[in-house]
Amino acid sequence: MATGSIDDQLLSLSSTHKSVTWRSPSNIAIVKYWGKHGIQLPRNPSVSFTLDAAHTDTTVSFVEKAIKNNEVSIDFYFEGAPNEVFADKITSFLEGLDDEFSFLRDYEFKIESSNSFPHSSGIASSASAMSALALCLGSIEKILTGWPTNSTDFLDKASHIARLGSGSAARSVYPKVAIWGTHADIEGSKDLQAIPFDSELHDSFKGFHDDILIVSADEKSVSSRAGHALMEGNPYAPVRYEQANRNMIATLEALKTGDILAFGKILEEEAMTLHALMMCSDPSYILMKAGTLAVIDKVRAFRAETSLPLYFTLDAGPNVHLLYPDEVADQIWPFIERELVPHCVDGKVIRDRVGSGPRLMS
Ligand code: PMV
C-alpha cells in the first residue's frame, strides 16, 4: 500500500504500472443532496462526513489493444465473480467519458471490485464504488500521460468523474468532510465537483463515530435515481432547496466551532426532511421501516434522559446512522448494543468513523 500524502502516492505511479488499486470510502451526508438536473448537477449544496470502515476496493488492470477498434472493452468482476449487469453499467459510463479520458478505447480493462460491507446489507455502495473507479481512471491517466502533477488537480478531476457516476460519490474523494454544490456564500463551492473542508474541521468532530444500523437489507422499493426525479414535481421542492442552503451555512459554522448541539439538530432535521419529501411526492413512497421509527424514538428518549449527544441520520433507505463524539462512546455504545441492535437484521451494525479519505493500495 502506498503511504503518505496523495502527492506522494501520485509520485509512486510510474509508466511501468499496468494496474492500479484504490480503496475509497462511503460517506454520510449531513445536509442532503436530493434533487438533480442536467448531467448529475445538484439542486442544492450538500456536505458529508467521509467514512472509513464502509469502503470499496477497486483494481483496474489495462493492456493496450492488439487490434484497435472503437469500443470500450471491459471485464468486470464483483467480489471475485464476473458480473454482466455491473459490466454493462460501467461500459455505458465509460462510453460517456471520451472527452475526459482519451485512452478509454485504446486499452482492454479488467476491473475488479469488492466492498468491505456485505452486498445484501442495504448499504448503498455507489459513493465508494464510483469514487474508487474514478480514482483508478485518474491514476491510469497519470501513468499514461504524466498528468496531473499535483494532488489538487488529481482530486478535482476524480471528484468530477465520480460525480458523473453517482452524485454523492463526488464527496468521497476528500478526507473527513466534503462540500458539493454551489452556494453563494461558500468560497470555491461548485456543482461540477466537491471540495474539501477538513482543514477547518473542529477537533470535536475528527473522531466522530457513525454506527450504521442495518434495519433492513431488502432492495429499496424506489431507487435514488427515481427519488431525485420525483423532486422535480414536488410542491415543497423550492422551500426545501432554500432550507438546504441555510442549513449548509449553519452546519459549516457548527463544524468549525465544535457546536455539537447545533450540528445534531440539523443532522436530524435533514434526515426527517429527506423522508418527508419522499412521503409527499407524487406518487408517495416510504423507505423507512417500523424498525427505523423504533430506533429514532429510542434515540430521542435516550437523549432526553441522559443529555448525551447521540444523533441519528438516514440515507435514502431504512438504515439508521448513529453519530456521536468519541469522548462519549463508552457511555453510548452499551445503550446502542442493548436497545438498538435488536432492531437490526441478524444484529448487523457497521461501526464506522470519520475517515481520512481514499488510499492508493497498489
Ligand atoms: O448519489 P445518489 O444519487 O445515490 O444520491 C444520494 C442521496 C442521499 O444519499 C440521500 C443524500 C446524499 O447527499 O448523499
**Residue 70 belongs to domain with CATH number:** 3.30.230.10
pLDDT at residue 263 greater than cutoff 90 = yes
pLDDT at residue 216 greater than cutoff 70 = yes
Q: How far apart are CA 10 and CA 156, in angstroms?
A: 14
Same-domain check for residues 182 and 295:
no
Q: Domain boundary residue among 167, 200, 233?
A: 200
**Residue 330 belongs to domain with CATH number:** 3.30.70.890
Same-domain check for residues 69 and 107:
yes
What separation in Å is there between the alpha carbon of 334 and the centre of ligand 1?
A: 30
User: Is there a domain that residue 360 lies in?
Assistant: no
Same-domain check for residues 156 and 230:
no
- Among 31, 33, 212, the mutation site with the greatest number of ligand 1 atoms within 8 A of its Cβ is 33
First to last CA, the chain: 5
Q: How far apart are CA 289 and CA 84, in angstroms?
A: 31
The continuous run of DSSP H or E covering 130 comes out as helix 126-145
Is the distance from the beta carbon of residue 33 to the nearest atom of ligand 1 less than 6 Å?
Answer: yes
Which atom from ligand 1 is nearest to the alpha carbon of 126? 4
Is the distance from the beta carbon of residue 126 to the nearest atom of ligand 1 less than 6 Å?
Answer: yes
Q: How far apart are CA 308 and CA 204, in angstroms?
A: 14
- Among 89, 313, 315, the mutation site with the greatest number of ligand 1 atoms within 8 A of its Cβ is 315
User: Is there a domain that residue 358 lies in?
Assistant: no
The per-residue pLDDT for 11 is: 80
Is the distance from the beta carbon of residue 166 to the nearest atom of ligand 1 less than 6 Å?
Answer: yes
With a pLDDT cut of 70, the percent of the chain lying above it is: 98
Q: Domain boundary residue among 200, 225, 246?
A: 200
Residue whose CA is at the smallest distance from ligand 1 atom 6: 168
With beta carbons less than 8 A apart as the criterion, state whether 253 and 275 touch. no
Which atom from ligand 1 is nearest to the alpha carbon of 167? 1
Query: Could you say which DSSP state residue 116 is in?
Result: S
Q: How far apart are CA 118 and CA 56, in angstroms?
A: 11
Write the Ramachandran bin of 347: left for phi over 0, alpha for psi from -120 to 50, otherwise beta.
left
The per-residue pLDDT for 24 is: 98
Q: Which candidate, 131, 141, 188, places its Cα nearest to that of 163?
A: 131
Q: Report phi then psi at 235, rounded to 5.
A: -65, -20
Instruction: Give the tens place of pLDDT for each residue, 134-172.
Output: 999 999 999 999 999 999 999 999 999 999 999 999 999
What is the band of 275 on the pLDDT scale with cuts at 50, 70, 90? Answer: very high
Same-domain check for residues 76 and 208:
no
User: Is there a domain that residue 57 lies in?
Assistant: yes
Same-domain check for residues 230 and 172:
no
Same-domain check for residues 159 and 261:
no
With beta carbons less than 8 A apart as the criterion, state whether 237 and 229 touch. no
Name the one residue in this structure whose C-alpha cell is 448541539.
261
With beta carbons less than 8 A apart as the criterion, state whether 69 and 86 touch. no
Same-domain check for residues 215 and 188:
no
Same-domain check for residues 75 and 208:
no
Is the distance from the beta carbon of residue 224 to the nearest atom of ligand 1 less than 6 Å?
Answer: yes
SS3 50: strand
Same-domain check for residues 190 and 217:
no
SS3 170: helix
What separation in Å is there between the alpha carbon of 61 and the centre of ligand 1?
A: 29
SS3 310: coil
Residue whose CA is at the smallest distance from ligand 1 atom 4: 224
Mean pLDDT of 167-183: 98
What separation in Å is there between the alpha carbon of 145 and the centre of ligand 1?
A: 33
Domain encompassing residue 88 = 6-200
The continuous run of DSSP H or E covering 322 comes out as strand 320-324
What separation in Å is there between the alpha carbon of 361 and the centre of ligand 1?
A: 26
pLDDT at residue 220 greater than cutoff 70 = yes
The per-residue pLDDT for 357 is: 97
Q: How far apart are CA 229 and CA 306, in angstroms?
A: 41
Mean pLDDT of 278-304: 98
User: Is there a domain that residue 83 lies in?
Assistant: yes
What separation in Å is there between the alpha carbon of 345 and the centre of ligand 1?
A: 23
With beta carbons less than 8 A apart as the criterion, state whether 52 and 117 touch. no
Is the distance from the beta carbon of residue 46 to the nearest atom of ligand 1 less than 6 Å?
Answer: yes
* Angle between helices 237-257 and 260-279 in degrees, nearest 10: 160
CB-CB neighbours of 208 under 10 Å: 21
Same-domain check for residues 177 and 218:
no
- If one counts the domains in the chain, the total is 2
Which atom from ligand 1 is nearest to the alpha carbon of 225? 3
- Among 28, 34, 193, the mutation site with the greatest number of ligand 1 atoms within 8 A of its Cβ is 34
The per-residue pLDDT for 278 is: 98
Q: How far apart are CA 272 and CA 287, in angstroms?
A: 12
What separation in Å is there between the alpha carbon of 127 and the centre of ligand 1?
A: 8
Same-domain check for residues 142 and 252:
no
pTM, 2 dp:
0.96
Is the distance from the beta carbon of residue 78 to the nearest atom of ligand 1 less than 6 Å?
Answer: no
The per-residue pLDDT for 1 is: 59
Contacts of residue 110, Cβ cutoff 8 Å, sequence gap at least 6? 59, 60, 61, 62, 74, 75, 77
Q: Which candidate, 334, 297, 329, places its Cα nearest to that of 312?
A: 297
What separation in Å is there between the alpha carbon of 225 and the centre of ligand 1?
A: 9
User: Is there a domain that residue 338 lies in?
Assistant: yes
Q: Domain boundary residue among 173, 200, 227?
A: 200
User: Is there a domain that residue 362 lies in?
Assistant: no
**Do the strands 73-78 and 107-115 form a parallel or antiparallel pair, or are they unpaired?**
parallel
CB-CB neighbours of 249 under 10 Å: 15
What separation in Å is there between the alpha carbon of 129 and the centre of ligand 1?
A: 13
Same-domain check for residues 193 and 234:
no
pLDDT at residue 120 greater than cutoff 80 = no
- Among 30, 47, 212, 224, the mutation site with the greatest number of ligand 1 atoms within 8 A of its Cβ is 224
